[in-house]
Amino acid sequence: MKFTLSWLKEHLDTDATLDEITYALTDLGLEVEGVENPAEKLAGFTLGKVTHAEKHPDADRLRVCTVETDDGPQQIICGAPNAREGITVVVCKPGQYVPGIDTTIKVGKIRGVESFGMMASERELELSDEHDGIIELPSGEVGESFADWLAANKPDKTDPVIDIAITPNRPDALGVRGVARDLAARGLGTLKPALVEPVKGGFESPVKVSIDADVLDKGCPVFMGRTIKGVKNGPSPQWLQDRLRAIGLRPISALVDITNFMTYDRNRPLHVFDVAKVNGDLRVHFAEGGETLTALDDKEYTLDAGMMAISDDTGVESIAGIMGGLATGCTEDTTEVFLESAYWDPITIAMAGRKLKINSDARYRFERGVDPAFTPEGLEMATRMILDLCGGEASDVVVAGAVPDTGRSYTLDPARVISLVGMDIPREEQVRILTDLGFSATGTGDTLEVWVPSWRPDVRGEADLVEEIARVASLTKLQGVPMPRASVGVAKPVLTPMQKRQGMARRTIAALGYNECVTYSFIDRKSAALFGGGSDDVMLGNPISSEMSHMRPTLLPSLLLAASKNQSRGFNDLALFEIGHGFEGGEPEEQKLLACGIRTGATAPRNAFGTRRDVDVFDAKADAEAALAAIGVSVGNLMVMRNAPEWFHPGRSAVLSLGPKNPLAVFGELHPKVLAEMDVKGPAVAFTLFLENAPFPKAKSKTRPALDISDYQAVERDFAFVVDGDLEVDKLLKAAKGADKKLIESVSLFDVFVLDDDKKSVAISVRIQPRSGTLTDKEIEAVAAQVIAKVEKATGATLRG
């Protein structure tokens, strides 16, 4: 919302400086977004007087002038036709920046004659587009500041424009008068009286008005207007044009400019019909749906059922409270108008405006709420302006419905200001603030009865009254007050087990060498579909782009996209991870917490030690296991199941499960087709942890089980077996481990190699830990024999000779 300082001063009697006013506005909650002060650009330019002018010896159009300035007489060459002896001019001296030509003036020679500055035109100082000659002032002394001269003689030209952001709760501040009222309450002056003297009608309005009963109940409680005949709709006077132009509006004609003025001055949108184009009376009704209207913006709109319309005998002539129709709009030829002032229900206007996608000043204000009580006064005030500026004669006022009663009061306990806000403001000051804002506060007991003015639809209870008082008193003065700790003593931990788990997983995976990413939760449909998602359930209704249209089922596609981008930047060896949610459906509960990681390229950069190798599925497995271990899963107890989803390599992937139905993680090489689709260069491996699936330990005790170690020397025995090429080695290891549960402490795999004939050799080391005494050779041999027997039985292996 823009306005000029002089416009504000029409309502506010104040000596406050521009800085004081802008500070107060922001502090009051009317945040200043910008101030444009023309005087700033003019600082430094002073007045001079041309004491002598003669033709340039080498140029017909140039004149060599002697100009009396505050620095004494200066020689200035000038090309303006009006440069002549005796005129008072604006001098730009060497070193000064001239905004209109974006140049800093220098001493120079023009056609061989020295020139010490410039005499400015209006355009050069950005005062207007005038550039036919240099500025000639009717008064002013040599050396006087031009900005001061303008402020004294043409204040409009130096009028600062203030732009403030209005929060949705403050429709009253969408009019300059509302802004002035806030400033007056703050103590920055007094609000000037603005009595509206009604205009007595001289005849009966030929246009009558009515409101359908259903609209009267809900959408439009009052619709009033009057005819004004004999008007002349020429351009509006300069002051009005200047004012509108200053706030970025284009002056159109006196009638239109008056309605715009009312909109910005009083937050009172009005509409003016050309009576010559209206057929019969005006009726306010809900559209049946399907009616069309070409509005003042020259666009055709089709109304939906339930939108409010104003119709004459031929049909819809105006989209009520949003925009008038072109057919009945005013032109320069208009001589008889019907001036409309109505109150429209904010919600009905908001719904219609949103559907029609019309952003008009009227809609903006009616959907936030204009002052219903000002409906008749607004009509009278605009009538007077029309009569003043366009002439003519006004009819009686015709009214349908009645101004709604918005009168309401709330009980305010003055002590609430300190208990809620923590500011100690005396009762009388509270009453003073409320009164200045237009409330009336009465009461002699502990509490006040506070009546809300009709222009404050936002105030709906005691807390709102407290806010008004605190805001005007200035929250800047609020001093912090310590809060007692929530509990006495050492602070208790606050994280939930799942939050701790998430943190543990994050730092463990980072410690494994992965770089954490945070990527968008929405991806393109095709990528989502590659990973089992992309259905309409997870589709956005209004995505920002087709690249961000679906909530992702898992984080892997986002990481692959990140990998692809990094690869194209020349980084091929990547380890990226993210912790976040995957979305299985479009309802709030359909999200699950995942930790996903991918590795691409090689495990290490090229180096002199030869440790570089391609990443493989066992990297992903090791990472998944390490992260699971970190969150408290005993990895040794997990089942390795070959049912990884289809975006993994079918033969090089698996699910780590706690029982067949509770997957804790999946890992594997990514499917080559998926990599190709996602434009990622392989090799690439990945893992996903389903963080919410792992059970939390049941035991509450922190006590560790007793340490169980034996003092007797352990023995390691190696075995090599020949097994079928497709034997899963896990089976063999488990069989060996089970050969003697008491004595065999661990079994480890240390060699696997493929033999020619679909067979492979598997070498294991078995660690035998005696418990009750050193084992004899015979006893060790017995354990070894048992290992061989069990393994052979379980896997069909034969011991290699």
Partner 1 sequence: MDGIQELKAKYLAEIADAGDENAIEAVRLAAVGKKGEVSLKMRELGKMTPEERKTAGPMLNALKDEINSAIAARKAALADAALEERLRAEWLDVTQPSRPRSEGTVHPISQVTEEIIAIFADLGYAVAEGPQIENDFYNFDALNIPPEHPARQEFDTFYMHRAEGDNRPPNVLRTHTSPVQIRHMEKHGAPCRIIAPGRVYRSDYDQTHTPMFHQVEGLAIDKDISMANLKWTLEEFCRAFFEVDNVELKFRASHFPFTEPSAEVDIKCSWTGGQLKIGEGDDWMEILGSGMVHPKVLEAAGVDPNEYQGFAFGMGIDRLAMLKYGIPDLRAFFDSDLRWLRHYGFAALDVPTIHGGISR
Site for partner 1 in 481-540 (CB under 8 A): 481-483, 485-487, 491-496, 499, 503, 506-522, 536-540
Which H or E run includes 388?
A: helix 375-390
Choose one: 35-43, 393-401, 543-551, 674-682; the region binding partner 1 (CB under 8 A): 543-551
Q: Which is nearer to partner 1, 485 or 661 (CB)?
A: 485
**Contact (CB, 8 A) for 282 and 207:** yes
Q: Which is nearer to partner 1, 169 or 440 (CB)?
A: 169
Q: What are phi and psi of 158, to 5 degrees?
A: -115, 20
Instruction: Work out how close the CB of 426 gets to partner 1 at its nearest, in angstroms, rounded to a whole number.
Output: 17
Per-residue binding string, partner 1, 1-30, x by CB under 8 A, is -------------------------xxxx-
Q: Which is nearer to partner 1, 496 or 703 (CB)?
A: 496
Per-residue binding string, partner 1, 599-618, x by CB under 8 A, is ----xxx-xxx-x-------
Q: Which is nearer to partner 1, 421 or 736 (CB)?
A: 421
User: Does 184 contact partner 1 by CB under 8 A?
Assistant: no
Instruction: Work out how close the CB of 28 gets to partner 1 at its nearest, in angstroms, rounded to a whole number.
Output: 6
Binder of partner 1 out of 305, 402, 463, 799 (CB under 8 A): 463
Q: Which is nearer to partner 1, 685 or 784 (CB)?
A: 685
Q: Which is nearer to partner 1, 350 or 403 (CB)?
A: 350
449 pairs with which residues across the strands?
A: 411, 442
Choose one: 65-73, 97-105, 436-444, 557-565; the region binding partner 1 (CB under 8 A): 557-565
Residues 349-368 that bind partner 1 (CB under 8 A): 350-351, 354, 367-368
| Cα distance between residue 337 and residue 498, in whole Å | 70
Residues 715-754 that bind partner 1 (CB under 8 A): none
Instruction: Work out how close the CB of 260 gets to partner 1 at its nearest, in angstroms, rounded to a whole number.
Output: 21
Q: Which is nearer to partner 1, 389 or 575 (CB)?
A: 575
467 pairs with which residues across the strands?
A: none
Instruction: Work out how close the CB of 320 gets to partner 1 at its nearest, in angstroms, rounded to a whole number.
Output: 16
Within 8 A by CB and 6+ apart from 155, the residues are 6
Per-residue binding string, partner 1, 253-292, x by CB under 8 A, is ----------------------------------------
Kindly report the number of other CB atoms within 10 A of residue 27's CB atom: 17
| Cα distance between residue 127 and residue 123, in whole Å | 6
Within 8 A by CB and 6+ apart from 75, the residues are 64, 65, 66, 67, 113, 114, 115, 116
Choose one: 117-125, 253-261, 460-468, 664-672; the region binding partner 1 (CB under 8 A): 460-468
Instruction: Work out how close the CB of 410 gets to partner 1 at its nearest, in angstroms, rounded to a whole number.
Output: 12
Nearest alpha carbon to residue 731 among 640, 645, 799, 644: 640
User: Does 470 contact partner 1 by CB under 8 A?
Assistant: yes
**Contact (CB, 8 A) for 454 and 371:** yes
Alpha helices in 121-206 (DSSP H): 146-153, 176-186
Kindly report the number of other CB atoms within 10 A of residue 672's CB atom: 12
Residues 660-719 that bind partner 1 (CB under 8 A): none
Instruction: Work out how close the CB of 511 gets to partner 1 at its nearest, in angstroms, rounded to a whole number.
Output: 4
| Cα distance between residue 222 and residue 243, in whole Å | 30
134 pairs with which residues across the strands?
A: none
Instruction: Work out how close the CB of 522 gets to partner 1 at its nearest, in angstroms, rounded to a whole number.
Output: 8
User: Does 168 contact partner 1 by CB under 8 A?
Assistant: yes
Q: What dihedral do alpha carbons 536, 537, 540, 545 form, nearest 10°?
A: -40
Q: Which is nearer to partner 1, 204 or 679 (CB)?
A: 679
User: Does 35 contact partner 1 by CB under 8 A?
Assistant: no
Instruction: Work out how close the CB of 200 gets to partner 1 at its nearest, in angstroms, rounded to a whole number.
Output: 38
Residues 315-354 that bind partner 1 (CB under 8 A): 346-347, 350-351, 354
| Cα distance between residue 382 and residue 339, in whole Å | 8
Nearest alpha carbon to residue 574 among 538, 535, 601, 547: 601
Binder of partner 1 out of 445, 541, 636, 773 (CB under 8 A): 541
Q: Which is nearer to partner 1, 507 or 793 (CB)?
A: 507
User: Does 542 contact partner 1 by CB under 8 A?
Assistant: yes
Binder of partner 1 out of 71, 291, 590, 677 (CB under 8 A): 590
Q: Which DSSP letter does residue 168 get? A: T
Binder of partner 1 out of 198, 237, 586, 738 (CB under 8 A): 586
Binder of partner 1 out of 138, 588, 705, 801 (CB under 8 A): 588
| Cα distance between residue 455 and residue 407, in whole Å | 10
Q: Which is nearer to partner 1, 80 or 538 (CB)?
A: 538
CA distances from 358 to 41, 319, 329, 369, 749 (A): 37, 10, 17, 17, 73
Instruction: Work out how close the CB of 408 gets to partner 1 at its nearest, in angstroms, rounded to a whole number.
Output: 16
Nearest alpha carbon to residue 228 among 340, 315, 311, 320: 340
Within 8 A by CB and 6+ apart from 627, the residues are 505, 508, 509, 512, 595, 665, 687, 689
Instruction: Work out how close the CB of 425 gets to partner 1 at its nearest, in angstroms, rounded to a whole number.
Output: 13
Q: Which is nearer to partner 1, 169 or 190 (CB)?
A: 169
User: Does 562 contact partner 1 by CB under 8 A?
Assistant: yes
How far is Cα of residue 596 from the mean position of the Cα atoms in its chain?
A: 30
Residue with the two structure tokens 């002349």? 232
Q: Which is nearer to partner 1, 194 or 540 (CB)?
A: 540
| Cα distance between residue 108 and residue 77, in whole Å | 10
Binder of partner 1 out of 444, 476, 634, 772 (CB under 8 A): 476
Q: Which DSSP letter does residue 85 get? A: T
Per-residue binding string, partner 1, 401-440, x by CB under 8 A, is -----------------xxxxxx-----------------
> Binding-site residue total for partner 1 (CB under 8 A)?
104
User: Does 216 contact partner 1 by CB under 8 A?
Assistant: no
| Cα distance between residue 176 and residue 166, in whole Å | 12
440 pairs with which residues across the strands?
A: 451
Q: Which is nearer to partner 1, 56 or 186 (CB)?
A: 186
First to last CA, the chain: 93
Q: Which DSSP letter does residue 145 get? A: B
Torsion 8-9-12-15 (CA) sign? positive
Q: What tokens does 751 get?
A: 């060699």
| Cα distance between residue 295 and residue 328, in whole Å | 9
User: Does 634 contact partner 1 by CB under 8 A?
Assistant: no
Q: What are phi and psi of 154, to 5 degrees?
A: -135, 70
Instruction: Work out how close the CB of 424 gets to partner 1 at its nearest, in angstroms, rounded to a whole number.
Output: 10
Q: Which is nearer to partner 1, 453 or 770 (CB)?
A: 453
Q: What tokens does 85 get?
A: 């002896």
Instruction: Work out how close the CB of 434 gets to partner 1 at its nearest, in angstroms, rounded to a whole number.
Output: 14
